[in-house]
Chains A and B, each alone.
Chain A
């Protein structure tokens, strides 16, 4: 007997009630949990950056480039969990060459490329071009050439051209906001449009994904800002934290309300899938939904953030609280992705039973691989911060 089948026999032994015989194995594992988590971080971080730029929230200025580079680092990795999860990864390019027009998934490559090439890369390029020209002149050796190549040969740094950089960058940000909304709303749609699955199929899914994306992206930028300040031995600006905290607070309230509405609607409607979903949340998803997502990831951060709105003493305590909130919210959003992706596959479409899921450690779709895809963007971010340090940018007067 092949080891793969042994794994399936083990799951079969742990299944409960009746499941269709083809449903024993979960189709989408931990990598598909990681994928919407990563794209959510991208969209959320970008939206925070756009806030600063479009709505001119001056106080968030120190986080602007950090947020953009964070978004780029995670976006570069976003497709990897998807591709490594395919059974035929060598055919992945078919999705770009011959996309099937009625498939929600087929559009992914285009949404992704649009966001990467048109929005993020262009915006960062316009943002950094002036500095890169200056850096190219200052440096010597390889780095000089690296910056020269990055400027794409556009070396004009006359005030008029620099002004155009900013103007074009602004336009891209304005285009980028709906693009970020589309990118992550679209990820929600991939799940929300599956009518066969009552746990996924809700028109609220794209909106819920979007708001949880914003929550996670904002938290990540908060953490990255604090960690960068720590390594650079710079004092963390509490006004920045308070300001990010305020946004996080409001978006978290919206996110919580939307997810609550979704569940209340399900409970009150109590359709044909109600019994099985009730069993699902009270058993298989109890820890990840109520404890991890609800309590740790939502209620505790909400209460703490509310408290921080009027508690203005003890700077060190407040900083620590913000740091902990950032981590808790990320745990909560990761759990939310887990609850959607894994939770939606644990119950049978016969609505009469459950299969079980045990994530493996090794292999292309194992835990280690998932951790790798989550750590890689942090490495990329460290590299980008070294290559394009926001704190060394050429200052431009407003």
Chain B
């Protein structure tokens, strides 16, 4: 009797052990398979700094310093052969005017190139400020993610670029950019956007918009260099990216960004 009980007991142990081993093997196999499939990244699309010797560029725009002169937008058009008509901009400036009644007036006539005139009567103004806009050079850029042929890509320095000889002009990237930073070049008939003046960066020069800014409201730099000016700035200021909830991995940080700005 006792023997039979023990046998039964052994069988139970063996069968449950087998079950456990099976389960464990399945979980382990699935985990290994999954991690092999997904390698190291969770997101379907994300750029990462790979080459240690290269900088990983970020941008800071200090809203408190922008005076809305429009030099940046003008310089950008000249430098990058952007058509002068007011429908194509790699960078532009918006004027926000929050009124006393809480409503917000936003304007950007000709991208701010010709400067601004305040159209709201002074007594109605609660506060007013300028917001320069440009490509956010996102590390999880939605525009790069959606390009069907891979004509848009991130450079090893984290700059989002377009291969003009490769773009098929489907305009999906223009739809995917939440910041309105892309357009179809009316002459080249391909997508166009800010390159952070990559051709200048490669020569050690600052992007045209930053070169001409009279107040130094724009700054670029190597986010990986802990001693760089930009990293110091980010350390000392409370900055914010546009639309953080969209998780685009924006590398354009705004100082003194007001909640009205989108």
* In the complex, residue of chain A having the shortest beta-carbon distance to the beta carbon of B192: A22
From A95, A102, A193, A195, contact of B168 by CB (8 A): A95
Which of B170-178, B200-208, B230-238 has 4 or more CB atoms under 8 Å from chain A?
B170-178
The answer, yes or no, to whether A256 is at the interface (CB within 8 Å) is no
Task: Note all chain B residues with C-beta closer than 8 A to A197.
Answer: 175
Minimum C-beta distance from B72 to chain A (A): 14
A8: chain B residues within 8 A (beta carbon)? 85, 87
- B189 CB, nearest partner CB in chain A, Å: 4
Chain A interface bracket (under 10, 10 to 19, 20 to 34, 35 or more): 35 or more
Q: Is B169 an interface residue (CB 8 A)?
A: yes
Establish whether residues B176 and A28, one from each chain, have CB atoms under 8 Å apart when the complex forms: no
**Chain A residues, Cβ within 8 Å of B60:** none
Q: Which of these, A4, A17, A196, contacts B175 with CB under 8 Å?
A: A196
Chain B 141-153: CB-based contact to A (< 8 A → 1; otherwise 0) = 0101111111000
Check B106–A87 contact: CB distance below 8 A. Answer: no
Given A8-B87, A86-B169, A87-B168; A100-B178 close (CB under 8 Å): no
State the Cβ distance, B249 to closest chain A Cβ, in Å.
13
Contact B147 A103 (CB under 8 A): yes
B20, CB-defined interface residue at 8 Å: no
Residues of chain B from 83 to 120 with CB closer than 8 A to chain A in the complex: 85-89, 92, 94, 104, 106-108, 110-111
Which of B87, B148, B180, B184 has its CB near the most chain A CB atoms (within 10 A)?
B148
Count contacts on B: residues with CB < 8 A to the other chain: 47
Residue of A nearest to B43 (CB): A102
At the interface, yes or no: B197 with Cβ under 8 Å from chain A?
no
Q: How far is the CB of A280 from chain B (nearest CB, A)?
A: 16
Interface residue? B44 (CB, 8 A): yes
Q: Which of chain B's residues has its CB closest to A94's CB?
A: B149
Whole-angstrom CA separation of A166 from B32 in the bound complex: 43
Interface contact B169-A102, CB-CB below 8 Å: no
Min Cβ gap A197→B in Å is 7
A20 to B261: give the CA distance in the assembly, Å: 12
Do B246 and A105 have beta carbons less than 8 Å apart?
no
Contact across chains for B89 and A98 when beta carbons are under 8 A apart? no
Judging by beta carbons under 8 Å apart, are B145 and A27 in contact?
no
**Is B126 an interface position by the 8 A CB rule?**
no
B110, B167, B176, B186: the one contacting A196 at CB < 8 Å is B176
Q: Closest approach, in angstroms, between the C-beta of B151 and any C-beta of chain A?
A: 8
- Judge whether B182 is part of the interface by a CB distance below 8 angstroms: yes
Distance from B104 Cβ to chain A, minimum over Cβ atoms (Å): 7
Asked if B180 contacts A103 (CB within 8 A), the reply is: no
Nearest chain-A residue to B92 (Cβ)? A21
| Residue pair B190, A87 in contact (C-beta under 8 Å) | yes
Q: Quick check: which of A111-119, A168-176, A348-356 contacts chain B, the rest being far away?
A: A348-356
- CB <8 Å contact, A351 and B181: no
From A22, A89, A190, A353, B89 is in contact (CB under 8 Å) with A22
Complex contact B175–A22 (CB within 8 A): no
Q: Determine the chain B residues whose CB is within 8 A of the CB of A27 once the complex forms.
A: 171, 174-175, 184
B148-A24 in contact (CB<8A): no
For B150, the chain A residues whose CB sits under 8 A away are: 98, 100, 103
Given A4-B186, A88-B190, A28-B87 contact (CB < 8 Å):
no
Does A149 lie at the interface of the complex (its beta carbon under 8 Å from any beta carbon of B)?
Answer: no
Given A27-B174, A92-B168, A12:B44 Cβ within 8 A: no
- Interface residues, chain A, CB within 8 Å of chain B? 4-5, 8, 12, 17-25, 27-28, 85-89, 91-92, 94-95, 98-100, 102-106, 108, 190, 193-197, 345, 348-353
Q: 7 closest pairs, A vs B, by CB?
A: A87-B169, A20-B180, A196-B178, A18-B106, A100-B150, A27-B171, A105-B148
Question: What are 6 A-B contacts defined by CB distance under 8 Å?
Answer: A18-B94, A18-B106, A20-B92, A85-B170, A94-B168, A106-B148
Given contacts A21-B86, A195-B142, 11 further A-B contacts (CB under 8 A): A18-B107, A20-B92, A21-B88, A21-B110, A22-B180, A25-B184, A27-B175, A87-B167, A87-B189, A100-B150, A196-B142
